Amino acid sequence: MLLIGRNIQIRNFKTTDINQFLELVQDKNNHDLAGLEYTQDVDFGRDLLDMYERRDSAYAVALKDDDTMIGIIELNKRGESEELLATREIGFVIDHRFRKKGYAKEAIKLLIKHGFDNLKLTEVWASTEVNNLAPQKLLETLDFEYVYEADQTLPYTGQHNPVKYYLLRNDSHLVRNS
């Protein structure tokens, strides 16, 4: 895949992304706020990049001018049942050095346009950690509507993970004005 925007591009992962990828997965804040895998183990980080390279719904966010990977964006299936085939869940993380520059917003808009125009999606969902206010605000500026909060408790761990779910429908303002 290759989607080109004004400042960024969404593309498939490359093995040459390893250094930038390791910076993302070695930042515990990315795990805590966005659910990205966390590791300090370089070999495991290489295995993670290999896994992302093979995923058909995960992409690198890279700067348009020099192809430097600055983040990850995904458009994951929500299930295989008939009523879920035309829906996806978007997820994203941008390296802390590149935040607050509009790159996440541009990447989300590009991927949503691709989803609605080419994949013929009817809905795109997004979830955020309850305390992660920046992506919540971003989603709302992109016409996502807050729908509900849920606790994604992991079985047998006792860990609670409250998240907020947002929804964007194909007939939204964003799609009409892209």
Average pLDDT over residues 35-60: 92
How far the first Cα of the chain sits from its last, in Å, is 20
Does the pLDDT of residue 178 top 60, yes or no? Answer: no
CATH numbers and ranges of domains, the chain: 2-125 (3.40.630.30)
Mean pLDDT of 106-116: 96
**In the predicted structure, residue 157 carries a pLDDT above the cut 90:** no
Residues 6+ apart with CB under 8 A from 45: 18, 21, 22, 25, 26, 39
User: How confident is the model at residue 176, as a pLDDT?
Assistant: 47
More confident residue, 11 or 29: 11
Q: How confident is the model at residue 30 (pLDDT cuts 50, 70, 90)?
A: confident
pLDDT for 173 equals: 47
Residue 127, pLDDT > 70, answer yes
- What per-residue confidence (pLDDT) applies to 159? 66
The neighbour count for residue 111, using CB atoms within 10 Å, is: 24
At 158 the pLDDT is 64
Alpha-carbon gap, residue 28 to 35, rounded angstroms: 10
- If you search the block for the tokens 């849920």, which residue do you land on? 150
Q: Over 90: is that where the pLDDT of 151 sits?
A: no
What's the CA gap between 61 and 108, in Å, rounded?
10
- Closest by Cα among 50, 57, 56, 5 to 25: 50
Q: Which of 30, 130, 43 is nearest to 70 (CA)?
A: 30
pLDDT tens per residue, range 86-99: 999 999 999 999 99
Give the 3-state secondary structure of residue 143.
Answer: coil
DSSP H/E element including 22:
helix 18-25
Query: Which residue's entry shows tokens 């990850």?
Result: 72
Average pLDDT over the chain reads: 90
